[in-house]
Amino acid sequence: MAASLQRNLNVVEAAAPQTAPKQSKAAVPAVRVRGLTRRFGEREVLKNLDVDIAPGEFVALLGASGCGKSTLLRILADLDREMVGHVEVPVRRAVAFQAPRLMPWKKVWRNVVLGLPGRADKARALAALEEVGIGHRADVWPKVLSGGEAQRTSLARALVREPDLLLLDEPFAALDALTRIKAQDLVGELWQRHGCAILLVTHDVEEAVLLADRVLVMKDGIIAHEERIDLPRPRDVADPHFARIRGSLLDWLGVRHGTHGNA
């Protein structure tokens, strides 16, 4: 397996790599995955997967637990390289997980710039924290943050890296209902402001339809269904068209719509 850099993209090839066809600069996607396969022992979690995400596109990935959603995200984040296939992602990318993963021995602002090259820049951290609405919490310890504040800190840590690709792995799953709605609104606002591509892994169908340009349904390691969301923003869950899309996605997930909000 070898890694190389092309067109400001991080390109990972594994196990008999394929050569990507040349494309014009305008046609180059933010994410390009071809023939991606990942095994854990005898179990094949991703099966010859192809995925594209356009620059600035918001894509949500739905699927049952164990279908391969988080495995794909970890590969795109360069946290898992034991795979077969061709993967192109931007060099500048960031990840926010369900658990904020803050270092308890560092103040909030230092957590935001943790891992950045060079000297810790408090002004840069403060700007990111202000953007997510918690600049006033910059000098506290993570243990005093609420769940929503901790998740906002995680988002600030991602945004301070100015990513071209933001990877979100169920970042709202542990939040209460009201805090979750506020966090969803915040992510939508940040995406429109920054214009980066986003891949959101979630179990929440309503969340996917509220936020995404396109929703992918994964089953058994492949993309089983793709739904383009052409509804105007901001979106209204009471809109009959919203309900129709939500119902269609629940059907693809094997859930009888009208009885459950999540999958």
- Per-residue pLDDT tens over the stretch 104-149: 999 999 999 998 887 778 999 999 999 999 999 999 999 999 999 9
- Per-residue pLDDT tens over the stretch 213-243: 999 999 989 999 999 999 999 999 999 999 9
Mean pLDDT of all residues belonging to the chain: 87
Under the banding of pLDDT at 50, 70 and 90, the label for residue 257 is low
pLDDT of residue 25 exceeding 70, the answer is: no
pTM score: 0.86
Q: How many CB atoms lie within 10 A of CB 147?
A: 15
Could you state, in order of their start, the residue ranges of all structural domains in the chain?
Answer: 2-92+163-252
Q: What is the CATH number of domain 2-92+163-252?
A: 3.40.50.300
**Higher-confidence position of 27 and 163:** 163
DSSP string, 148-180: HHHHHHHHHHHHTT--SEEEEESTTTTS-HHHH
pLDDT value at position 256? 64
- Per-residue pLDDT tens over the stretch 36-66: 999 999 999 999 999 999 999 999 999 998 8
